[in-house]
Amino acid sequence: MNYINLNELRDCAYKTACEHGFHDKELSNEHCLCLVISELMEAVEADRKGKRADRESFKSSYESEDPHYNADFKYSFEKYIKDCVGDELADACIRLFDLCGLRKIDINDFTEEMIYEATESCNGETFTESIYAISTIPVRYEYEYGYSFEKQVKSMLLGIIGLANYIGIDLLWHVNQKMRYNELRPVLNGKKY
């Protein structure tokens, strides 16, 4: 994902969250990080159930940028993509992008070497162990290394990118599909907050 402008994804995620009412009240960093972790736990459950995206069926059913086909996109996304491992990892990234937008964190500084190291760090771990490592970054990195909140958030994002690379998931594709899907959803995506 280093070849794309992560700050553009940050700005888009933040804009969509604002338009959908997710920033109508002030929430703590801990609240926001817990929601990221909840998406990571959903990725664990999707992995345990063997839920993977069916991109071929999605592509044959629907893959168009034409906004006139939003209903077809939504149906196809829900049938072939939603709630799979890649989708849940994308949700976690989108929440982190949104948090970076809210807190004005620049995330365009991941080098190829950093992404390679994050990918290699998953070697020898199960998917669940890698998710655990990513989920505990805020606590571990604050108390063990004294990392700032910004560094904790960026480290989580880098960890997710590395894990997706390690297991062969095209995370950028999933993020783009989910961001489009999120734009079509109701205020608060039908949730309380």
Contact (Cβ atoms closer than 8 angstroms) between residue 55 and residue 137:
no
The pLDDT value recorded for residue 1 is 47
Contact (Cβ atoms closer than 8 angstroms) between residue 109 and residue 6:
no
CA distance 48 to 145: 32
Q: 29 exposed, middle or buried (CB, 10 Å; 0-12, 13-18, 19+)?
A: middle
| pTM, rounded to two decimals | 0.90
The pLDDT value recorded for residue 21 is 85
The per-residue pLDDT of the chain, averaged, comes to 90
pLDDT at 3 over 80: no
pLDDT band at 104 (very low <50, low <70, confident <90, very high): very high
The pLDDT value recorded for residue 2 is 41
> What pLDDT, in 10s, does the model give residues 133-181?
999 999 998 888 899 999 999 999 999 999 999 999 999 999 999 999 9
CA distance 105 to 97: 9
Q: What angle do CA 25, 29, 32 make, to 5 degrees?
A: 70
Q: Higher-confidence residue: 69 or 124?
A: 124
Ranges of each domain in the chain = 6-184
